[in-house]
Structure 1
Amino acid sequence: MPSFHPFPKLPLELRLAIWEMTVEPREVEVRIVKPTPEDPLEVQWSHPSQWHYIDSRRCNEAMSDVPTSTRAERKARRKAEQDWPRYRPYVHMVSSTIPGVLHSCREARNHGLYQQISLDVDKKHEDHRYVWLNLEIDLINIGTSFLNYFIPIASFLKRLKLRRANTDEWWSEYEKDLLPSFKNVENIYVVCVDGFWGWGDDDVFNYEWPCPYENLVFIDEHSPMGYLEVGHLDVDRICQKIADGEPFAHDKDF
């Protein structure tokens, strides 16, 4: 049935319940591009007006993981590249479109199914940017963007995905100390840029992960078995197999 014309005549409680049933978990890719100094620590004590402009290289780097499989996604990326506000303090870009239910009517938009979240410094700017998120169920994929950019909304996030190399000194010595700021995160997905080997050290499990260990998922996109998602205990086991020179034969090994 393409449409249900009597829908507006249903009781309000029933209509709202139906709107809520349209909400599904999404993986929302957010990319932060911020004109920062060479030393990320300077972000903590200097004003954005003192930072350098955002050059095209950094724009392209931030957009590298944004999907371009559909016409709408390609159009959105071209627009972002062409209309890039070079001197904006910082900007976040999102790969997903506005949830379809928000296009339907004012009642659906006002019901609080999604929240407008913005990380822009200049909230009075005419090109003020925001993204619609359901913070209870959406998986927020920040890629390689620094965690400190998300501190303003850290306590609201429930599901977080990030791409890191544990061999990167900035992450292992400094940035991982920001994890407790995401105190309400229930699930964390880590794409291991340096492979599982870099994440098998016991020190990783001494990090102050805000979620239970069983809710940690580590991802190796280029393992001997191809793409793998495993729990924290399996990371150490796989690393031990590598150290012992044991072959990777079947899925059952994992």
Structure 2
Amino acid sequence: MSTFHPFPRLPIELRLRIWSLTAFPRMIHVKRQCVGDHGEFGLQYMATSTPCPPVVQVCQESRRYAPYRRAFTTGAEPRYIWVNFESDMICNDGSHDLLNLEPHQQDIQRLRLPIDDELAYDYITIHGDQEFKKFTNIKEIHIAVDLQFAGFSIEFLAATVNKCFNGFDNKVKFLDVGSGYMMDANQLRILSDWKNYYSFDTHGRANVDTFEGAIRFMRILDNILTLSEMHAIDDENAKIKQDQQFL
């Protein structure tokens, strides 16, 4: 049976519970629509290419009680985007203004930033250390990196982590969109150190030039730790420090 016709006859408490369980994780792509090529005349509205969650289109009751809210209602011609900030990951598609997500910096818990050109990278390295402080409730940050464009390297990524994400290291993941590999900030530092000290030939050239190739080579050498292994090391270090306190 595709339709449960007695649903309206269920107790209101049960119906509200059902609506509350309809949320599922989504990637919400948002983009600032401005007047002028570079927004020099101001924000008109925030737009998205992500379809709205089906539950908000069922009926008035579902729109009212589903775990979604109208967000990004800013600009001269404001619109809205349905968002559940607990489960949805917000992805800003504007490379020159990646962290400008007014007025929801404190609402956003999951954030994805595409670093796919020099403009996006420059924005993060110049403004990131200050702008990330506005995201006070952040739980997860994904940096989606396209390493195909010229001039980008693992060293730049490591420098970005050190500069911008102090205090966020355990929440940051780096994703290579070409290979699908994902690393946390600590693993990225290990990879950067390996490339700096072990991957150069006698002429000073790096043997491995791509993120995917470097990861594959490190896996062969068994020089990269998995996230679970790193957690185990952290737990062991914490135990050692605790034991030392009693000596």
Of 84, 101, 104, the residue aligned with 1:150 is 101
Unaligned stretches of 5+ residues in structure 2: 147-151, 200-206, 208-213, 225-247
Distance in 2 of aligned mates of 1:13 and 1:209: 44
Of 76, 79, 85, the residue aligned with 1:129 is 79
Of 228, 231, 236, the residue aligned with 2:189 is 236
Aligned equivalent of 2:171: 215
Q: Residue 227 in 1 paired to residue 184 in 2?
A: no
Distance in 1 of aligned mates of 2:16 and 2:106: 27
Distance in 2 of aligned mates of 1:148 and 1:36: 20
TM-score after normalising by structure 2? 0.70
- Check the 8 A contact 1:177/1:208 in 2, yes or no: no
Q: Residues 81-101 of structure 1: CA distance to partner in whole angstroms, max 9, x if unpaired?
A: xxxxxxx73332212111111
Aligned equivalent of 2:162: 205
Cα RMSD between the aligned structures?
A: 2.8
- Check the 8 A contact 1:30/1:142 in 2, yes or no: yes
Aligned equivalent of 1:20: 20
Unaligned stretches of 5+ residues in structure 1: 39-47, 53-87
Distance in 2 of aligned mates of 1:145 and 1:33: 13
Secondary structure of 1:151's counterpart equals coil
> Between Structure 1 and Structure 2, whose CA radius of gyration is higher?
2
Within 5 Å, which residues of 2 pair with 1:178-193? 178-193=131-146
- Check the 8 A contact 2:92/2:99 in 1, yes or no: no
Distance in 2 of aligned mates of 1:34 and 1:219: 29
Within 5 Å, which residues of 2 pair with 1:54-65? none
Distance in 2 of aligned mates of 1:145 and 1:106: 38
Greater relative contact order structure (CA < 8 Å, 6+ sep): 1
- Check the 8 A contact 1:163/1:191 in 2, yes or no: yes
Aligned equivalent of 1:70: none
- Check the 8 A contact 2:89/2:110 in 1, yes or no: yes
- Check the 8 A contact 2:91/2:111 in 1, yes or no: yes
Secondary structure of 1:149's counterpart equals coil
Secondary structure of 1:218's counterpart equals strand
Distance in 1 of aligned mates of 2:72 and 2:120: 31
Aligned equivalent of 1:96: 50
Secondary structure of 1:153's counterpart equals coil
Secondary structure of 2:90's counterpart equals strand
Equivalent pairs, count? 199
Distance in 2 of aligned mates of 1:111 and 1:148: 30
Superposed displacement of residue 221, structure 1: 2.5
TM-score after normalising by structure 1? 0.68
Give % identity.
22
